[in-house]
Chains A and B, each alone.
Chain A
């Protein structure tokens, strides 16, 4: 059972917008930054968003992050078939003194 809660799957058509939620608590999301990762099959996770809403260089602005209270959201606009992947949220948990992740969300671009 993951500390952060994500929906197992989401889907949308090419060109559409999709959001992926990540729910936590006051000891993790409510207290520290949220990171988002994209994992393509057979590869290591790739950082998409850090510090709630910042994009590393090279990540297109189709990807965005937001946070409110103890929940965070990853948004992806202009969906492409290449966006089909697993997406994970992560944060630091001050009660555990450890990093924590969501269980992952599989995005299907119909």
Chain B
């Protein structure tokens, strides 16, 4: 049973960079894509992007200019960086597992609330 555990700073200022990491325990790391999703307070889900073990990525076009997703296969971890933050980036950020070019399946992180405020 795969488990995803995520961490990162929860309070950031406008213009700063968000940085989150997700560690994967159990199951294969190389057979899947690893996904970031966010959910603003009281709103729906937004797909941010995904990466596989070779570093192949797909990004949401609306966020692509500010997003970088990277992978560390030696640690079975993947990370999200989102630059030039504004209040609109305030959300719960989730990491999840997928099979590539599909929505996420089973295996989600616990979520991290990131608040952008001066």
Residue positions of A touching B, CB distance < 8 A: 2, 32-33, 35, 37, 44-47, 50, 56, 88, 90-92, 96-104
Contacts and interface: CB of A to CB of B under 8 A. Distances in A.
Contact of B101 (A45, A92, A101, A102): A92
A90 to B, nearest CB: 3
Interface stretch (B13-21, B68-76, B78-86, B102-110): B102-110
Given A99-B98, A101-B47, 19 more contacts: A32-B101, A32-B102, A35-B102, A37-B45, A44-B110, A45-B45, A50-B105, A90-B45, A92-B101, A92-B102, A97-B61, A98-B58, A98-B60, A99-B35, A99-B37, A99-B47, A99-B102, A101-B46, A101-B103
Contact of B103 (A91, A96, A97): A91
Given A50-B105, A92-B102, A102 B110 contact: no
Contacts of A50: 103, 105
Contacts of B58: 97-98
A34 to B, nearest CB: 8
Contacts of B32: none
Contact of B47 (A33, A98, A103): A98
Contacts of B61: 96-98
A100 to B, nearest CB: 7
B44 A33 contact: no
